[in-house]
A and B are shown apart, each in its own frame.
Chain A
Amino acid sequence: MSSRISIDAVRHVAKLAALSLSAEDETRMQSELDKILGHMEELNDLDVSGVSPTFHSVVAASSLRPDVVQPSLARNELLAAAPAQEAGGFAVPKVLDGE
């Protein structure tokens, strides 16, 4: 069965999205995405040349706030929600290889 999206493309997208998928998930995702993307191809029926995109549906005049220091949330309260903390920061697994 030919698909709009290859299994390699599914793996690539999963990597971009930082999701690990089982082999079974990959196959199911491939067939579901194929079907949904197939439906979305209807947008190709429309001529959109000269149409500008709508990134914001309501154009309200944006205003700048005064640049005044405001109290922010307390560090200890924010850290309390973290799975691991250390020395006043978020503790994370090692990022770099080496010693």
Chain B
Amino acid sequence: MTVSELHRLSISELAERVSTRSVSAVEVTRALLERVSRLDGEINAYLHVDREGALAAAAQVDRALGEGGAALPLAGVPIGVKDNLCTRGVRTTCASRILEGYIPPYDAHVVQQLRAAGAVILGKLNLDEFAMGSSNESSAYGPVRNPWDKTRTPGGSSGGAAAATALGLATGTLGSDTGGSVRQPGSYCGVTAIKPTYGRVSRYGLIAFASSLDQVGPLARNMRDAARLLRVIAGRDPRDATSAELPVPDYEAECGRELKGLRVGVVKGIAQGCEPAVQRSLGQAVERFASLGCEPVEVELPHQRYALSVYYIVANAEASSNLARFDGMRYGLRVAADELKDTYQKTRAAGFGAEVKRRIMLGTYVLSAGYYDAFYLRAQKVRTLIRQDYTRAFERCDFLLTPTAPTPAFELGAIQDPLAMYMQDIFTLPPSLAGIPAVNVPCGLSEQGLPLGLQLCAPHFQESLLVRAGHAFEAASGAAPCAPGF
């Protein structure tokens, strides 16, 4: 294997080679950094490349191994991190002007976990501003381009993470998912992405968008790699009171287990209105699971169609509250005015982009006097109905299948209407509202050669089952096509 092929190795292969010293972490890091500097100009996946920090971390991994240190699960593995995760001493912007130049004095919990596992953090990945978007076009620093077709969106909001993973600008990445933000870009870029159960992963140091929905999740080029990343980042952290006090299973051990006897739920009428290629790939996926010994069961999710309305009320209400902290006083941008109130208003007007303002306005409106009951409280009640749909469905099946997105990646600039953009998330929003885990698994290509994705969902804390089913599906599908230039 030549240096120019190191980016092609999987996480488990790389960690093994670095741990057995057949390649050094520094060599791997140099190779990936070189690739980023050569290819990312056209893709814009990285907002910041931390060359020095990455090389120093790699040298430290090599040194520890040279001194007889234990093999670590991510030894020398180059990882990219979405830029809404705090990294000590490394700028963190949320792709917003309001946090331009912000350098956090602490690491997010998941970043600490990566470092402790021997990972090398290459830099910070582009996203929709404050993770609010489905196309990466709301980034204040320009959109990411999809490596499969550079005129198209990589999806959002973790578009930088998905594109970097697909093109080998990192061996794996961490994104965040509030309503589909690792799964939908995973689908558009042809990579595996896991949205864990709410509470499975600590949110400490993840800059908050919607606190009752946000989860950090891994993106990788295969399920085994994603499973390894999940195991590293999952678990209780006292700094996030909502992180679950449950043991973290060995997700990777699920890879290779048979599916015989499992019941796969197929949601009645789910793909109506999707592009024909999406409908076809869903049908083929059901057949593939049947050939793996699963029993297809038809289930109904009658309230799923209300998820979009519920989500954009609940998530934006929480966002309007969370983003109140960006007022120009403690970090980031300040547009000075004579009085405090004017400083707040002018700073926020100058610092936030159009989509973020629209969501803050909507969230403030639905929480304001006279509208709380009609919008916010009603939405939270419908959320209960959505949750109960899953409870009933999972009495009849072990996991269920839907498309991840209604279309393959669309062209940058093609969707201007906010509501039409929100529709991109119709399949990923319901699991988020119910708090259940869901994954995107690549599921072939459209006629135009664009990746399609399959979403698998399971009951709370059943990530192991999703890894098992996703891995079996991947193995049965044969070698997945790679992005051009990978």
Q: Does A43 lie within 8 Å of B379, measured CB to CB?
A: yes
Q: A40-B375, A53-B384, A58-B198 are in contact. Are A81 and B339 (CB under 8 A)?
A: no
Cβ contacts A54-82/B at 8 Å (1 or 0 each): 11111011110100000001100110111
B14-22, B103-111, B141-149, B462-470: which lies at the interface:
B103-111
Q: Does B330 lie within 8 Å of A81, measured CB to CB?
A: yes
- Minimum C-beta distance from B384 to chain A (A): 5
A82 to chain B: which residues have CB within 8 Å? 329-331
- Minimum C-beta distance from B265 to chain A (A): 19
Which B residues between 65 and 108 are near A, CB-CB below 8 angstroms? 102-106
Chain B contributes a number of interface residues (CB within 8 A of A) equal to 73
B30-38, B269-277, B357-365, B474-482: which lies at the interface:
B357-365
Q: Does A16 lie within 8 Å of B383, measured CB to CB?
A: no
Most chain B CB within a 10 A radius of its CB, from A16, A56, A65, A83: A83
Most chain B CB within a 10 A radius of its CB, from A54, A56, A62: A54
Q: Does B383 lie within 8 Å of A53, measured CB to CB?
A: yes
Chain A contributes a number of interface residues (CB within 8 A of B) equal to 53
Q: Is A5 an interface residue (CB 8 A)?
A: yes
B433 to chain A: which residues have CB within 8 Å? 54, 57
Q: Is A48 an interface residue (CB 8 A)?
A: yes
Q: Does A74 lie within 8 Å of B105, measured CB to CB?
A: yes
Cβ contacts B398-434/A at 8 Å (1 or 0 each): 0000000000000000000011000000000000011
Cβ contacts A16-36/B at 8 Å (1 or 0 each): 111111000100010011011
Chain A residue nearest to B89 (CB atoms) is: A77
B333 to chain A: which residues have CB within 8 Å? 83
A92 to chain B: which residues have CB within 8 Å? 329, 340, 343
B168-176, B182-190, B227-235, B237-245: which lies at the interface:
B237-245
Chain A residue nearest to B352 (CB atoms) is: A19
Q: Does B320 lie within 8 Å of A17, measured CB to CB?
A: yes
Q: Does B331 lie within 8 Å of A48, measured CB to CB?
A: no
Q: Does B340 lie within 8 Å of A93, measured CB to CB?
A: yes
Q: Is B328 an interface residue (CB 8 A)?
A: yes
Q: Does B382 lie within 8 Å of A46, measured CB to CB?
A: yes
Q: A42-B306, A81-B102 are in contact. Are A18 and B341 (CB under 8 A)?
A: yes
